[in-house]
Chain A
Amino acid sequence: MEFLLENILNLVGFLVGLAIGIMALIGYRNTGSPTLFRLTIAFFSISIGFFVIWTSYMIEDFVVKSGSVERGIQTVGIGIQTVGYFFIAFSHSIKSFFPKSSYFRSVGILPLFLVSSVQLEHIFRSVSFILLAYGAIETMLSYFENRNKGTISISTGLGLLALGEFLGWYSFVFPESILYTISMTIKIGGLIALFIPLSKVPLTKIKFDEGLE
């Protein structure tokens, strides 16, 4: 069950990340906006991260068949995803003058301190959680300014990914519990929420950049 959910999560993550990344890239090529460039890097990183993990599961399932997935490859995948979450948070931090925010710095130190002696994967997960939570909060605050329904969906998506990441990290404490399964289900829900606004973009009205046709 866990194996199947992990496969679904990583495949959905790869596809949703790729779709949003391509959309942001088209936007960047058409408008030259730095914000869209950062979103392009963010979602391509997220997509590649999920793809790396999905590939490791596929190789394990069909080729190696050792019964456990190579931990190092998973860590690399999660690390690449963290880079993507960083760029989402970075886009918001530029908007909100991050260096002046003592709040973010204070919440940023605590989880790193708590996991400083454990594996790299735990560090990536905790950093991802911070970045996702920050992105979700900033996006929600933006909703109060622009009242755009799509913003709620993105905020919910980032929030669910953050919660899923937190539960995934916490499941290391209770390895045999249902926490990891719940974490993956929540993350799949988060990815779907991220995709909802994209599905409403009127693609037919966009003149695609010649290089992408």
Chain B
Amino acid sequence: MKIIGDILATTRDDLQDEDGATVTYLIRKANISHSRISRILKTLVSHGLLEQVEDQGSNKYKISQTGREFLQAYYTFTNFADDFGLSI
């Protein structure tokens, strides 16, 4: 869950350029393996949380409106769980 939050936060707040973030950039930010992040990105795109953009032969990822709303809910409920001394 935290990795998903980190990826979405990166694609929202920490983009290299307007087109989106590359897989390499996200791997560096989330600090996980290529195979794992590929699966996560595929899931996030299929759920409409990320938008995949084709740019000069490589894929870039941008957060969607649904992704922004999910991220907002994620932060709210992370704080909620934190109050109980737990993590979501």
Residues of A within 8 A of B (CB): 23-24, 27, 30-31, 33, 35-36, 39, 88, 91-92, 95, 138-143, 146, 148, 150-151, 153-155, 197-198, 201-202, 205-207
Contact = CB atoms under 8 A, between A and B. Distances in A.
Interface stretch (B13-21, B26-34, B54-62, B71-79): B71-79
Interface in B45-88: 69-70, 72-74, 76-77, 79-88
7 contacts: A31-B73, A31-B88, A33-B88, A35-B81, A142-B84, A154-B84, A197-B80
Given A27-B73, A30-B77, A201-B79, A138 B85 contact: yes
Interface residues of B, number: 18
Contacts of A205: 72, 76
A151 to B, nearest CB: 5
A30 B70 contact: yes
B88 A150 contact: no
Contact of B85 (A24, A30, A151, A206): A151
Interface of B: 1, 69-70, 72-74, 76-77, 79-88
Nearest to A208: B73
Contacts, number: 83
B88 A35 contact: yes
Nearest to B85: A142
B46 to A, nearest CB: 14
B48 to A, nearest CB: 13
Contacts of A23: 80
Given A27-B88, A31-B1, A31-B88, A153 B83 contact: yes
Contact of B82 (A24, A95, A151): A151
A38 B81 CA distance: 11
Given A31-B74, A206-B76, A36 B83 contact: no
Nearest to A153: B83
A106 B74 CA distance: 37
